[in-house]
Structure 1
Amino acid sequence: MIGTTTTAAPLTEARVAGLDVTGQGPWRAYLERSRALMAADKATLAAERAGGTVPASAAAHLKGESGMPLDRPAAWYASAQAAHVADNIVSWQTPAGGWGKNVDRGGPLRRRGEHYAPVDDDPAGGVVARADGWSYVGTIDNDATTTELRFLARAQAARQGPGGAAWRAAFVKGVRYLLDAQYPNGGFPQVYPLQGGYHDAITYNDDALATVVALLDAVAAREGDYAFVPAGLAAQAGAAAERAVDVVLASQIVAGGVLAGWCQQHDALTLAPVGARNFEPAALSTAESARLLSLLMRRPKPSARLVAAVDAGVAWLKRAAVYDVAWVRQADGGRVLVARPGAGPIWPRMIDIATARPVFGDRDGTIHTDVNELSLERRSGYGWFGDRPAAALADHARWTARRP
């Protein structure tokens, strides 16, 4: 054990007051807007519940499949089943314009007075459930909001005219929600309106920011499913995507004197790498870094700065690869790292910034250098090793070959 995880600080007025006076205005306005939108969300729900009973949640909670397939033949999106999913999405959209996570959108429509986001994070995972039950009411975690928007775009394309008007209106409102959620420096929090805690950090974890940028790029292009997007909104989406790329470049971590990769989350104001849940310390993250590198390599006109960032990040991923070990599942379902000559490469999920050694977090906040020391539940319930960076390395080889 080499230490304990420190959770990221929330974005607050007090912290904004520590900025240079000329830089405080946009952040104060952001906080005011966030508070106003949360107040409106809460007031709307309270008004629906006034004088009546509160309906129990009928939403199907799930992990993984969302009920919003994006890979069906075009004709399927004109079906009654697809229309039900799109109507479900519209019914669950918050007044601010976002959506909660981990809900089956093929399930029942939201009833008046039903909570907008019935799924809280597992309190056993180190997240303290909010006393008011107001959690993840609008989020980009687990592909939420972006998947709802992509499905609405696909569905409305199959129903031109008045039949798809409600879906198009919800889509526009959802894109405006993402634009509202973006920080003045280009980053995105995990939850918006702001929930506090590590959720306020700029979130690269599980590809949250990268997924938002990919959607904003599609909106900006106004092609295919997105041809209906108003030109002004498309221009705003394109500008927001570029600001997000700028903050990715600005937050790349220097380790050992050279540019390396990124943490799963970075402080909203300082861009410093920060911890999140108890088992997620502030460390370089190979999986998230790989996705960010692929995002950067897809920019149409890469600057010299971007090229240097990508080349340095790929070089770091190559250094971070490990060989002659395998991450295997045992008969009892638990995972363990074992010696296996000739195996690899695989990548540890997290790399200590100062020592360049793999690190692993446990439920109690302790940080370890040996994954096999972790509790069985946390050792087996998190992706501590994987081969995802291999795809980014392959992307880089092709990208380099295309460069003049």
Structure 2
Amino acid sequence: MKKYIVPSLAALMAAAFLTTAQAKEIGMNVPSPPLNEARITELAGPQSKAWLDYLARSKARMTADQDALLAERKGLTTIPAEPATGNGEATMPLKAEAAWYKTPEARAVADSIVSYQTPAGGWGKNQPYNVPPRQKGQAYVGGNENRVNDPANFDRPLIDKWSYVGTTDNGATITEIRYLARVAAQNPAEAAPYHNSIVRGIEYLLAAQFPNGGWPQVWPLQGGYHDMVTLNDNAMEGVISLMRDAGAGQAQGKGDFAFLPDALKARARAAEQAGLKALLAGQVVIDGKLTLWPQQYDPLTGQPTSARNYEPPSLSSTESAGILMYLMQRPDPSPEEVKAVHAGVAMLKQLKIDGYVFKRVEGDDGRRLHAQADAPPLWSRYYDMKALKPIFSDRSKQIFDTVDDVSAGRRNGYAWFSTSPQKAIETYEGWRAKHPQVK
């Protein structure tokens, strides 16, 4: 996949910018292009067969997953209620004391996790596991019964009552695998079901990897922006880091993944390398210079794309910071990796906002930027890829150059600004001494 070079913001958004002086918005967000046979045949070139095979495997796997649930429900007089939804990650702590993973409480969570694994090997998002194991015929993932099929919503369900059934969104699948590995390591005599589930989970992620090394948000593919290479919420970085730990990181037979078969470790190492190559190719070039990464991009063209209605194609500071942290953790970075880090951190430094906090004060209808002399550095989540200035959007798909024009509900309910990139900059200060600029 070629590194994407920005031609113009208008071309990227594929939408006419408004020209009237009175208009508040500076553009309109449009949905991501489909990943289908027609576009693959047109755009994938020599890799068309690999992409078409991938698409066929995804469709077959989707059918198999749905058939498995239907088979369970055959003959049932009552279909069990949907699984609970909520803060799933809170029920799977990864930094507890080692002894805690031996407790009945920890084991019960692990048993629940195993029970909710989809036939393909993944897990849904926002799923708490401090609940009883899944019942026969119960949906694998909660929250699908009441999804509204709104044609104007980029996140509308394209398959009735079947969405996010196997995903890396919000840390799903990645967190389940890591948690099971912690429990298995502390309970070696009873580890077999957890080991089996972990292997299936890693096999699932390997099957989901695109031919170009990236990963979609949901697999089997469910359509829409979920089929794009997804960096959003550090999804792809999370998968690559897991592959690192499952493969190269555990090559000496140590750690939570030491039990994995050597052949699977080798495949994990290869997946990490392919994913790393895709990450480097996804760093956006503007005026001949490397900058940051988008939240997601078209796997066939490398172009940044939209996600939800209020998530336009752009440079994303928070996702870029996560990628930079991953790259700086690599022990022997290549010249290309070193160049990517220097350029990415330089851009974060250029884009930071000093002297402001994003909060709500008395009299505001929602959060706004307010001057504060001692405020820590702040970054907008999204930056226009031409002007390198903050941009914001809304459920209406309108794109604005000020957060004040976003509706109060969306202004309060989304992380439009963040201080998290500062950690990448601080880490860089020590890293750069060992890795000087590559000319």
Please tell me the TM-score bracket, short chain as reference: over 0.9
* Alignment match, 2:319: 288
Equivalent pair of 2:83/2:139 in contact (CA under 8 Å):
no
What corresponds to 1:176 in structure 2? 203
State the match for 1:321 in structure 2: 352
CA contact (8 A) 1:126 1:363 kept: no
Give the corresponding residue for 1:73. Answer: 97
Offset of 1:45 from its aligned partner? 0.3
Q: How many angstroms apart in 2 are the aligned matches of 1:343 and 1:50? A: 60
Q: C-alpha displacement at 1:340, in angstroms?
A: 3.3
Pair 1:401 & 2:433 matched: yes
Counterpart Cα distance in 2 of 1:342 and 1:350: 23
Please point out which of 93, 98, 105 is paired with 2:122: 98
1:250 maps to which residue?
A: 281
Deviations 1:280-305 (A, max 9, x none): 00000000011111111112221111
1:203–1:264 contact (8 Å) kept in structure 2 = yes
* Residue identity matched to 2:53: A
Q: Extract unaligned runs of 5+ from structure 1.
A: none
Partner of 2:389: 357
Is the 2:121–2:201 Cα contact (8 Å) retained in structure 1? yes
Whether the aligned pair in 2 keeps the contact of 1:54 and 1:114 (CA below 8 Å) is no
Taking the aligned partners of 2:179 and 2:230, their CA distance within structure 1 comes to 23
1:233-280 C-alpha deviation (Å, 9 max, x unpaired): 011101101111100101110123311001100111111100110000
Which one of the candidate residues 16, 19, 26 is aligned to 2:43? 19
AA partner of residue 240 (structure 1): A
Q: Give me the whole-angstrom Cα distance separating, in 2, the residues matched to 1:119 and 1:179.
A: 26
Q: Are 1:140 and 2:168 matched, yes or no?
A: yes
In the TM superposition, what is the alpha-carbon distance from 1:347 to its structure 2 partner?
A: 0.6
Cα distance, 1:176–1:20 mapped onto 2, change above 3 Å: closer
2:126 partner letter: N
**1:187 to 2:211 alignment:** no
Q: Does the 8 Å CA contact 2:171/2:235 hold for their aligned counterparts?
A: yes
Matched residue count: 403
Is the CA contact (8 Å cut-off) linking 2:155 and 2:224 kept in structure 1? Answer: no
Q: Distance in 1 between matches of 2:101 and 2:177?
A: 14
Matches within 5 A, 1:339-378: 339-341=371-373, 343-378=375-410
Q: Distance in 2 between matches of 1:178 and 1:144?
A: 11
Aligned twin of 1:261: 292
Matched letter for residue 147 of structure 1: T
Aligned pairs for 1:201-240 within 5 A? 201-220=228-247, 221-222=249-250, 223-240=254-271
2-structure distance, mates of 1:399, 1:192? 35
Where 1:18 maps in the other structure, the secondary structure is helix
* Alpha carbons 1:58, 1:108 under 8 Å: kept: no
Give me the CA root mean square deviation: 1.7
Alignment deviations for residues 200-232 of structure 1 (CA, whole Å, 9 cap, x no partner): 010000000011111111101222111111111
What's the counterpart of residue 55 of structure 2? 31
State the distance in 2 between where 1:21 and 1:339 align: 52
Q: Please show how residues 51-130 of structure 1 align to structure 2 within 5 Å.
A: 51-57=75-81, 59-63=83-87, 65-120=89-144, 127-130=155-158
Q: Percent identity?
A: 44
Q: Which moved more, 1:141-150 or 1:64-73?
A: 64-73
Does residue 299 (structure 1) correspond to residue 330 (structure 2)? The answer is yes
Secondary structure, in 3 states, of the residue corresponding to 1:262? coil
Runs of at least 5 residues in structure 2 that lack an aligned partner in the other structure: 1-24
Question: What is the rounded CA distance, in whole Å, between the counterparts of 2:98 and 2:82 in structure 1?
Answer: 30
Q: 1:94 to 1:102 in 2, by over 3 A?
A: same
Residue 279 of structure 1 corresponds to 310
- Letter in structure 1 aligned against 2:312: P
Deviation at 1:338, TM superposition (A): 2.0
Following superposition, the deviation at residue 21 of structure 1 comes to 4.3
Matched AA of 2:102: A
User: Alpha carbons of 1:328 and 1:20: their partners in 2 closer, same or farther (altered >3 Å)?
Assistant: closer
